Structure 1
Amino acid sequence: MSSKAMGQETLDLGETMLPDRSAPPERKRALRLTGSATALYRTSGSGFETSQVPALELGFDGLAGDRHGGLTRRAGGREPWYKRGTEIRNERQVSLLSAEELGETAEILGIDEIRPEWVGANLLIAGIARLTFLPPRTLLMFEGGVTLKIDGDNAPCRAAGHAVARHYAGRADIPFAYVRAAKHRRGLVGWVEKPGRIEAGEAFEARVPEQWIYGS
């Protein structure tokens, strides 16, 4: 086969593998937003719920001694592609929630409130509308020097629903109803890119990366 023929064959193969360039992906420009961590929380033992604290000391392994701390974690129901218990990278070191979204979820459920500590929050965030929709790779750069990197939204689970239900006697429906009500309102999970100390009320800049919708 000639080099020209070989080259044409390679080119044809490449073209069949490329997406349609006549329809470029939709792109959204990068953004910078400002917010603050109005309250901070951590677990005090092996339990799911957290307790409010004045500051968080964060290392590359997250919160030392916290239930969700560590450089690695064990795969569970969120990772069905791995055998349960497989050791994987811990991208869920911290949980971030907003009072606005907690209030919306409570309203849907017909209850007075959902407190951040009931559903395992580490940071209660103010100033960022639709917090749960911040995309992966967003950086939260705190005044004190800490940087958190967002992995993505935190899918609601029945464990959090059971935690809420314990505060509302007679509402056996909450554990399952919570999963639906909190969808896209459950906040975010992330990990520590630059360690240090965060204090309650500390401001941060959210650097939202350029985004695009990838299609085949």
Structure 2
Amino acid sequence: MSDLLPTTEPAVDIVPGRKLAARAAALYKAPFDHFETRPVDELRLGFDGIEGDFHAGATRRSGGREPWYPRGTEMRNERQLSLVAADELAIVAERMGIADIKPEWIGANLLIEGVPHLSMLPAGSLLFFKGGVTVKVDAQNGPCRFSGRSVAEHAGMADHEAGALLFPKAAKRLRGLVAWVERPGVIKAGEEISVRVPEQWIYRA
């Protein structure tokens, strides 16, 4: 039977896991009635996400990101937290021709320092906060027109609709990550983080 197995190139490319050191440079929380966030000194996290946050909950309703479900289908909330990096937001701002993009304009909860190309961290990466919290990355946070309009309005762009349309293109693969709480607790601003990047593979079969 062994001679029936393919002997050409392997079906997967495997990259070993690694560890990185990072820091929670700033923290943000959204009120119940709006996705934009406000700076805070700490975040209290439960298994449902950030206590009192706009995106808290064990489940959420599906939207345009899940075309395989009818819109509004109840599903697991893997988008409890939004993580961004200042260097990536600076690139997006430059592409849009504005001075800067503040994390709170696009509903970010954590501004992470020390991870190169934060938005490219693979699904399954774990962030171990020094105080005991663990957060697990689900996926990249795809940029949308909703956040783009917020950026355009806050930045004072002359054409808000044009800014809303430009943001998804300018922020592609630079919008940060969405994540969920694996181990609850309290995160403090400035807290150290140990990032564990899992073994990765590209499936070619």
- With structure 1 as the length reference, what TM-score do the two structures score? 0.90
Letter matched to residue 202 of structure 1: E
* Percent identity over paired residues: 52
Query: 2 CA distance for matches of 1:169 and 1:82?
Result: 35
Counterpart among 35, 45, 66 of residue 22 in structure 2: 35
Note the 1:149-160 alignment, pairs <5 A. 149-160=136-147
Q: Helix, strand or coil: the match of 1:191?
A: strand
Query: 1 CA distance for matches of 2:136 and 2:100?
Result: 28
Letter matched to residue 190 of structure 1: A
The alpha-carbon distance between structure 1 residues 53 and 27, as it changes in their structure 2 partners (threshold 3 A), is: same
The question of 1:201 aligning with 2:187 is answered no
Partner of 2:128: 141
Letter matched to residue 75 of structure 2: I
Cα deviation for residue 130 of structure 1 reads 0.3
Partner of 1:171: 159
Q: Helix, strand or coil: the match of 1:91?
A: coil
Residues 70-123 of structure 1: CA distance to partner in whole angstroms, max 9, x if unpaired? 000000110000011111000000000000000000001110000000000000
Partner of 1:7: none
Partner of 1:185: 174
The question of 1:100 aligning with 2:91 is answered no
Partner of 2:75: 88
Partner of 2:63: 76
CA radius of gyration, larger in:
1
Cα deviation for residue 55 of structure 1 reads 0.1
Cα deviation for residue 26 of structure 1 reads 1.1
Cα deviation for residue 44 of structure 1 reads 1.8
Query: 2 CA distance for matches of 1:200 and 1:181?
Result: 28
Letter matched to residue 189 of structure 2: A
Q: Helix, strand or coil: the match of 1:166?
A: helix
Q: Helix, strand or coil: the match of 1:73?
A: strand
The alpha-carbon distance between structure 1 residues 33 and 177, as it changes in their structure 2 partners (threshold 3 A), is: same
Letter matched to residue 193 of structure 1: E
Moved over 2 A (4+): none
How many residue pairs get aligned? The number is 201
Letter matched to residue 164 of structure 2: P
Contact between 2:157 and 2:163, CA under 8 Å: does it hold in 1? no
Letter matched to residue 195 of structure 1: P
Instruction: Please give the root-mean-square deviation of Cα atoms over the aligned residues, in Å.
Output: 1.4
Query: 1 CA distance for matches of 2:179 and 2:29?
Result: 15
Any unmatched runs of 5+ in structure 2?
none
Letter matched to residue 190 of structure 2: G
- With structure 2 as the length reference, what TM-score do the two structures score? 0.95
Query: 1 CA distance for matches of 2:106 and 2:89?
Result: 10
